[in-house]
Chain A
Amino acid sequence: MKFRGLIFANLFRKKIRLILTVGSFAVALFLFSFLAVVKGAFGRGADIAGADRLITINRTSIIQPLPLNYRDKILRIPGVVAITHNNWFGGVYQDEKNFFPQFAIDPQNQRIVLPELKVPDDQWANFLKDRQGAIAGAKTAARFGWKIGDKIPIKTTIFGGANTWDFNLVGIYHSEKAGGDESQFWFQWDAFEEGVPKTFKDRVGWYVFKIQNPDDAPRIAKAVDDLFSNSDFETKTETESAFAAGWVKQFGNIEFLILSIGGVVFFTLLLVTGNTMAISVRERIGELGTLKAIGFSDRAILSFVLAESLLISLIGGLMGLGLAALAIPVLANALNGLLPELILSPAILSIGLGTALLVGLVSGLLPGIGAMRMRVVNALRRV
């Protein structure tokens, strides 16, 4: 600690250069955090998906429906313990930019198959009693300032019929799992059936069902798809995590993209910081020679250079992560639910800071070793 004064004095020797280098770290760490958060958001569906849940969609596409009578047939397959179904409503609340997913749900089985999405019992009871009742995720309710008892008008864009459907908000659900989706809006299947044109009746968007033993998932998925093969509505069944991962893949190879950009950012940062440290050491060869002459060891000289580069990376890294912590919630709000929830997790912060420190260490190492190895008599000639 007694060398602190010397290290900090050298660190602040060229303030503009310090600001620019620290700024490079801050921008890089901010970008890294943002990319990591986006990657996490895309992958979170797969991470928190239930291991004992399967999803069945139309083999052609998820936007093609499945018959309602598949429900009982799937339920009869050995190993299936409960089933529910959802329909995508695709309505607009006030303005198209106010996007959030709306589902017509099967109220009898929703809570059995998706128990992690918690609704208080009294609210659920009110939901069952009210044909126009609706339950909103906590995040969506907070976003629009809804409270129980509010009327929520949603304009349909797919199903024709009455132009605007009015719902009574009777409940708010929370996810028990960290990072779980709290943006959905549920309403009664019966209301949906009543309101949609005839061609859409007795058709569901997809089935979600619970199985007894996760190890049976491949067998049961095959059994479901075999059951409906060569029918008008062939199915594609997979685990919930595979479904979530497949959903993400539709956007391209997000992970590769993010890793590539992150890699380029950090490599560039390494070059920038390495160059800065090399210049910084070259500028004070004479001073380092003087320190060696009066008795500072080679290792001490190396430590000073490394301490400087590590401090630059630490300050820049913390600034970048701090900036990300402030900006990401703002960004998430601006995206209006277009992306899954953006979470700057402790793991992202740790990896970001760790990588920044590693870049700092590597960028200081070469100039530091050069300073350590230089001969005092040669260095003193450069005063």
Chain B
Amino acid sequence: MVRVDSTGRSNSLIQVRGLDKTYKRGGEEIHVLQGLNLDVDKGDFVAFMGPSGSGKTTLLNLLGGLDVPTRGSISVAGDEVTNMSAAKLTQWRARHVGFIFQMYNLIPVLTAFQNVELPLLLTKLSKSERRRHVETALGVVGLSERMNHYPRQLSGGQEQRVAIARAIVADPTFLLCDEPTGDLDRKSADEIMNLIIRLVKEFGKTVLMVTHDPVVAKLADLELHLEKGLLVEAGQQQNAYAGGAA
């Protein structure tokens, strides 16, 4: 279950406490996140919404260990992410996080198979084991027949499915999706969302997704809105502002 108001210790898979992120731009300090709390359990599917510049991607970057907070802590499955060295954090990302980006971020000179295989190159799996894992992941996203195609030979929706296969191939602890349908038409977007929902329902994946699209956000178990550096549940934004103002 997702909570945004816990402050003490919990048994949640992802536990965020008092998260602050401040940027300096031209001598001015911009407080993007201000004391944010969040608990996400295994198998939860959360959508983060909010206007541009509200800090959605920043939150995703912090949760994925791509950036470090100004203050606060993030722990995932008992690992305190915020205290890790850069090298340790890289290893942690490889093991625990599957990234799905808006622009797919596939390597254009590699085939679908090779793109999906990338995270497995960091493991000790043999070549045949890697092949089996990749074929399984591509099978889950329905692209077994296209494994030898290059990204330029695939449609946008297919590219995103390859990216999803890459994200799940190493069986990470959770998936971070940054506008996964942002560059797709409605039909392709629906296909991608169905796939993500299947990953949650069928495979028990934990998914945290940033989106601008209210239709997409409604497919998640819970919509959270990021405004003024804090998370609030959908429908409670105005209250939060009122509370914040008070």
Residues of chain A at the chain B interface (Cβ within 8 Å)? 2-3, 5-6, 9-10, 12-13, 286-287, 290-298, 375-377, 380, 383
Task: Tell whether, in the assembled complex, residue A377 and residue B67 are in contact, meaning their CB atoms are under 8 Å apart.
Answer: yes
**Nearest-CB residue, chain B, relative to A293:** B99
Q: Which one, A3, A6, A295, contacts B93 given CB within 8 A?
A: A295
Task: Tell whether, in the assembled complex, residue A9 and residue B114 are in contact, meaning their CB atoms are under 8 Å apart.
Answer: yes
Q: Which one, B101, B108, B109, B118, contacts A291 given CB within 8 A?
A: B118
Task: Tell whether, in the assembled complex, residue A295 and residue B105 are in contact, meaning their CB atoms are under 8 Å apart.
Answer: no
Task: Tell whether, in the assembled complex, residue B90 and residue A292 are in contact, meaning their CB atoms are under 8 Å apart.
Answer: yes
- CB-defined contacts of B121 to chain A, threshold 8 Å: 2-3, 6
Task: Tell whether, in the assembled complex, residue B105 and residue A9 are in contact, meaning their CB atoms are under 8 Å apart.
Answer: no
Bound-state CA distance A97–B110 (Å) is 58
**Nearest-CB residue, chain A, relative to B118:** A294
- CB-defined contacts of A298 to chain B, threshold 8 Å: 86-87, 90
Q: Which one, A9, A292, A375, contacts B107 given CB within 8 A?
A: A9
**Nearest-CB residue, chain A, relative to B107:** A287
Q: Which 3 pairs of residues, A with B, have the shortest CB-CB distance?
A: A295-B94, A9-B109, A290-B105
Q: Which one, B61, B67, B90, B108, contacts A295 given CB within 8 A?
A: B90
Bound-state CA distance A141–B110 (Å) is 59
A9-B110, A13-B109, A376-B66 known; A290-B101 Cβ under 8 A: yes
- CB-defined contacts of A12 to chain B, threshold 8 Å: 109
B157 interface contact, C-beta 8 A: no
Classify the interface of chain A: helix, strand, loop or mixed. helix
- CB-defined contacts of A6 to chain B, threshold 8 Å: 107, 110, 114, 118, 121
> How far, in Å, is A84 (CB) from chain B's closest CB?
69
> How far, in Å, is B78 (CB) from chain A's closest CB?
19
Bound-state CA distance A2–B123 (Å) is 11
Task: Tell whether, in the assembled complex, residue B105 and residue A287 are in contact, meaning their CB atoms are under 8 Å apart.
Answer: yes
Task: Tell whether, in the assembled complex, residue B66 and residue A297 are in contact, meaning their CB atoms are under 8 Å apart.
Answer: no
Residues of chain B at the chain A interface (Cβ within 8 Å)? 61, 64, 66-67, 86-87, 90-91, 93-95, 99, 101, 103, 105, 107-110, 114, 118-119, 121-122, 127, 166
Q: Which one, B101, B114, B127, contacts A380 given CB within 8 A?
A: B101
> How far, in Å, is B104 (CB) from chain A's closest CB?
9
Task: Tell whether, in the assembled complex, residue B99 and residue A294 are in contact, meaning their CB atoms are under 8 Å apart.
Answer: yes
**Nearest-CB residue, chain A, relative to B169:** A294
Task: Tell whether, in the assembled complex, residue B94 and residue A294 are in contact, meaning their CB atoms are under 8 Å apart.
Answer: yes
**Nearest-CB residue, chain B, relative to A3:** B121
Task: Tell whether, in the assembled complex, residue B110 and residue A383 are in contact, meaning their CB atoms are under 8 Å apart.
Answer: no
Residue from A291, A292, A294, A376 whose CB has the most chain B CB atoms within 10 Å: A294
**Nearest-CB residue, chain B, relative to A381:** B57
Residue from A286, A287, A293, A376 whose CB has the most chain B CB atoms within 10 Å: A293
**Nearest-CB residue, chain B, relative to A383:** B103
- CB-defined contacts of A287 to chain B, threshold 8 Å: 105, 107-108
Q: Which one, A13, A286, A294, contacts B119 given CB within 8 A?
A: A294
Task: Tell whether, in the assembled complex, residue A296 and residue B122 are in contact, meaning their CB atoms are under 8 Å apart.
Answer: yes
Bound-state CA distance A376–B67 (Å) is 8
Task: Tell whether, in the assembled complex, residue B93 and residue A293 are in contact, meaning their CB atoms are under 8 Å apart.
Answer: yes
- Ordered by A's residue number, 13 sampled pairs between the chains whose C-beta atoms are within 8 Å are A6-B121, A9-B109, A9-B114, A287-B105, A287-B107, A290-B105, A294-B99, A294-B119, A298-B87, A376-B67, A377-B61, A380-B66, A383-B101
Q: Which one, B86, B108, B166, contacts A294 given CB within 8 A?
A: B166
Bound-state CA distance A372–B90 (Å) is 12
Bound-state CA distance A16–B12 (Å) is 53
- CB-defined contacts of B122 to chain A, threshold 8 Å: 295-296
Bound-state CA distance A298–B91 (Å) is 11
- CB-defined contacts of B90 to chain A, threshold 8 Å: 292, 295-298
A2-B121, A5-B110, A5-B114 known; A297-B87 Cβ under 8 A: yes
Bound-state CA distance A161–B233 (Å) is 117
Task: Tell whether, in the assembled complex, residue A295 and residue B109 are in contact, meaning their CB atoms are under 8 Å apart.
Answer: no
A294-B119, A298-B86, A380-B105 known; A2-B66 Cβ under 8 A: no
**Nearest-CB residue, chain B, relative to A288:** B107
Q: Which one, A2, A10, A375, contacts B109 given CB within 8 A?
A: A10
